Amino acid sequence: MIGFYDYTVILTYISLFISVFGMIQAFGGGFRTAILCLALSGLCDMFDGKIARTKKNRTDDEKLFGIQIDSLCDVICFGIFPAMICFLAGVRGVIGSLLVGYYCVCSVIRLAFFNVLETNRQAHESGANKYYHGLPITSMAVILPLIFLLQAAVTSFVFIIVLHFALFIVGTLFIIDFKLRKPNNVELFFLVAVVSSAVLIILIFSRYHVPKFRFLEMPLWPVIKKLFGTE
């Protein structure tokens, strides 16, 4: 078999599986399950690097594979998955579709740049990097559940507008090169507690139901038909 299957990458595979399951639930209208899956994927990503570094005798191939598989899974877990949730939640139309695409492109650029930096860094030094370059893509697993808490306090229109701005702002922060210190264990525990509380509130009190996906009813569809002269 090709690839690696030891404990250093299993958590990354689990994160991907959870996100794919969350996507399936979201398409079927299971909004609360989707948010839970996003948070769980973020939790897995938070610790997969720490677990991988516990194996001191990793080969160069294992290290490079770990970098690549982590980013490939992150594209789906924290790039495509959150964008899809936002789309299903109401980020539609021409502007919404452009923002969803913009967020996904920024996610890929950010992760590709990370792969280059991390590959070069590991060639010259060992251990974990103490800083992020740009906002880490995993941050959407924290931001999106907190945004969905707004549903109980604002109108649907305001909530959807906030999702539009979130996609643009977070996507932009992915590709702006600034140094962000990685959180220590206490700060990580605080983040986990905050997101867990948010998800718990959503699971218990949220009554929001994601509409089922109907592509031909998208406001963008008439524009596409006009562009290609299919009417």
Radius of gyration of the chain (CA): 19
How many angstroms separate the Cα of 46 from the Cα of each of 12, 40, 41, 141, 201?
A: 10, 10, 9, 10, 22
The pair phi, psi for residue 206, each rounded to 5°, is -70, 135
Q: What is the pLDDT of residue 21?
A: 96
pLDDT (mean) for 99-109: 97
pLDDT at 208: 59
In this prediction, residue 207 carries a pLDDT of 63
Q: Which of 88-92, 124-128, 151-155, 208-212 tops mean pLDDT?
A: 88-92
Mean pLDDT, the chain, integer:
85
CB atoms within 10 A of CB 113: 16
Return the pLDDT at 204. Answer: 85
pLDDT tens column, 23-45: 999 888 888 899 999 999 999 98
> Looking at per-residue confidence, does 177 or 121 come out higher?
177
**53: confidence class by pLDDT, cuts 50, 70, 90:** confident
The predicted model scores a pTM of: 0.84
Confidence (pLDDT) at 171 = 97
- Domains in the chain, CATH or no CATH each: 7-227 (1.20.120)
Among 68-72, 81-85, 120-124, 209-213, the range with the most confident prediction by mean pLDDT is: 81-85
**Above 70 in pLDDT, residue 108?**
yes
Is residue 165 pLDDT above 90, yes or no?
yes
Region of 183 on the Ramachandran plot (φ > 0 left; ψ -120 to 50 alpha; else beta): beta
